[in-house]
C-alpha cells in the first residue's frame, strides 16, 4: 500500500510539474505544486492579494498587509513582532528578523533571547538575499538593494544597499 501511494504521489507531482513548466516556464519546490500561495497567505491572516510560497518560514506574530509578494526561501521572524505594510515586494531569500540569540549563546544560556519589533512600511522593495536585523524600521517606498545587511532604520523614499546597508546619494 505504501509503495502504491508513493507511485500515485509521484505521478501527481509529474503532472503538476509538467503543467507549471508549460504554463509558466518555472520549476518549484515540491510543496509549491500542492499549495496555493494566495491561500497560504489567507490562512496566515495576511492581507488580500498577498502571496507566500510554501517554503517560506513564518515564526511568531507576523502581520502582513495587502498585495504583498513574499518570494521563495524567505524567513519572516515575528518572534518579537513583525509588521509588513501593503504593496511590498520581498524577494527570494530575504530574511527579516525580530529576535536573536547572541547574548543567550555567549552567556551559556544565562541571558534570555533578545527581541525587538521590526517594521516594514508600505511600498517597500527588498532585494534578493537581503537580511533585515531585529528592531529595524524601514520607511514607506524604501528600496533595499540585493544582498544588503540592514542593521539600522531606513527613512521613507530612501535607497540603501551594501554590508552594512547605507543610503545612496544620487
Establish whether 99 is a catalytic residue. no
- Identify which of 89, 92, 83 has the alpha carbon closest to the alpha carbon of residue 121: 83
- Identify which of 115, 156, 123 has the alpha carbon closest to the alpha carbon of residue 137: 156
- The one catalytic residue in 37, 40, 99, 100 is 100
Confirm if 121 and 84 have CB atoms less than 8 A apart.
no
- H helix or E strand, kind and range, residue 40: helix 37-43
CA 60 to chain centre: 13
Q: Enter the C-alpha cell of residue 103.
A: 547574548
Measured CA to CA, the distance from residue 160 to residue 95 in angstroms comes to 16
Residues assigned a catalytic role: 100
Amino acid at each position: 500500500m505504501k509503495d502504491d501511494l508513493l507511485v500515485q504521489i509521484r505521478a501527481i507531482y509529474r503532472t503538476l510539474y509538467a503543467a507549471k513548466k508549460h504554463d509558466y516556464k518555472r520549476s518549484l519546490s515540491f510543496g509549491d505544486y500542492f499549495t496555493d500561495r494566495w491561500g497560504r497567505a489567507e490562512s496566515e491572516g495576511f492581507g488580500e492579494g498577498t502571496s507566500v510560497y510554501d517554503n517560506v518560514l513564518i515564526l511568531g506574530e507576523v502581520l502582513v498587509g495587502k498585495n504583498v509578494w513574499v518570494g521563495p526561501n524567505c524567513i519572516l521572524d515575528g518572534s518579537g513582532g513583525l509588521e509588513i505594510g501593503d504593496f511590498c515586494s520581498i524577494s527570494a531569500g530575504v530574511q527579516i528578523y525580530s529576535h536573536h540569540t547572541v547574548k543567550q549563546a555567549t552567556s551559556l544560556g544565562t541571558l534570555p533571547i533578545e527581541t525587538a519589533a521590526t517594521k516594514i512600511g508600505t511600498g517597500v522593495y527588498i532585494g534578493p538575499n537581503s537580511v533585515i536585523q531585529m528592531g529595524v524600521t524601514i520607511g514607506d517606498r524604501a528600496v533595499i538593494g540585493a544582498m544588503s545587511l540592514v542593521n539600522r532604520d531606513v527613512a521613507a523614499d530612501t535607497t540603501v544597499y551594501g554590508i552594512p546597508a547605507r543610503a545612496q546619494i544620487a
